[in-house]
Structure 1
Amino acid sequence: MSNESVPQVDPVLEGGHGSEDSQADDRQRVLKRVALLLARHEVRHLRRWFEEFDRDILLPILLGEIALHNIGSTENGKGEELGRGDDANCPLKPCNAYSIAAATGLPRETVRRKIVRLIELGWINKRHNGHLYVTSAALRHFGAVLSSRELADVIETADRARRLLES
């Protein structure tokens, strides 16, 4: 089954006269196909992350929140020195288990346990003061994953959605 294009229906041949209702129905069908396309993309994406993190779907969510929180401070043009120096010398914005629990809506104890696992995997560092930072190893690994696999899939899905909407 191809999601590439939506068959064009001539409203006159279908017994209509190109009414606004017919056009609205056609538009609804296209939107449903786009929604299905996007849902398939999201499920593929979730499955990949699920497998990448040893079948624990909360780990990529927490790593993502920590990374976004940290890296948000680098948008002003500062360089990155991940995992070096103390907090005063680190351009990344720190976060802690409490702020990540608040951001995700997950219980603090769950976040704390998952942070221990992310530390074991080498994806985040926890400083003595509780500040959490994504590691350069995590950025390299997941940056490579995103650029090699995910980005191409996102672009392809977006192109397919655009073609559906333009038909």
Structure 2
Amino acid sequence: MQLGIDQDQADANSRITAIRAAVLLTRSMELWRRERLDPETVLINLAVIAITSERLMRGGLDPKHNSLDVYLPLEKLQGCNVASIAAATGLNRETVRRRVKSLTSAGSLIRTASGDLALPPDKVQERSAQELVRRQLEALVRFANESLRDGVLMLSDEKG
């Protein structure tokens, strides 16, 4: 069973859905900002996570690496650079370059042996990273449950 969209209800409740989506996104940003990160740094971190991990999601992740507790070798990650971060975030390339330089100096990002950008594996395995994921998941569940109550999302037996 999976979630599906009731398009008629989605159209009828489009304002409510837009508001709920905005609340979900702002909650997500707020959870990252609790880590004392400004919005541009949050966007850059999210872009690095999305870009470097995309190949893992497309090609399948070895189940032994499903948990953040387990070290994931950097060579398993897809390449990420300033240009790809700028494209993903809409931030100016020079702004991204300066931020990345600052973040690498602070140890919040690293350069891999191939010169690509990544999150430091030790930071990914910290308890605070797992807590952030848990809080993000709670916000997503709240959004899904509210959307189910609104009739916009529905449980479906269809696969697709």
Q: Give the TM-score range, shorter chain.
A: 0.5 to 0.7
2:84 maps to: 99
The residue type paired with residue 33 of structure 2 is F
User: Counterparts of 2:34 and 2:122 in 1: how far apart (Å)?
Assistant: 18
Match of 2:26 among 43, 46, 49: 43
Structure ID, larger Rg = 1
2:54 maps to: 72
The residue type paired with residue 45 of structure 1 is S
TM-score (norm 2): 0.66
RMSD: 2.7
8 A Cα contact 1:53 1:59, kept in partner: no
User: Counterparts of 2:20 and 2:112 in 1: how far apart (Å)?
Assistant: 42
Q: How many residues align?
A: 132
Match of 2:17 among 34, 38, 56: 34
TM-score (norm 1): 0.64
| Residue 159 in structure 1 maps to residue 142 in structure 2 | no
Give the 3-state SS of the residue equivalent to 2:151 in structure 1. helix
Match of 1:58 among 40, 43, 47: 40
User: Counterparts of 2:23 and 2:78 in 1: how far apart (Å)?
Assistant: 34
- The higher relative CO (CA closer than 8 Å, separation ≥ 6) is in 2
8 A Cα contact 1:41 1:157, kept in partner: yes
CA shift, 1:40, in A, is 2.3
User: Counterparts of 1:42 and 1:104 in 2: how far apart (Å)?
Assistant: 14
For structure 1, the 5+ residue unaligned runs are 1-23, 83-89
1:10 maps to: none
8 A Cα contact 1:71 1:92, kept in partner: yes
User: Counterparts of 2:21 and 2:50 in 1: how far apart (Å)?
Assistant: 23
Structure 1 residues 144 and 121: CA distance shift in structure 2, 3 A: farther
8 A Cα contact 1:97 1:108, kept in partner: yes
For structure 2, the 5+ residue unaligned runs are 1-7, 66-71, 153-160
The residue type paired with residue 81 of structure 1 is P
User: Counterparts of 1:94 and 1:72 in 2: how far apart (Å)?
Assistant: 10
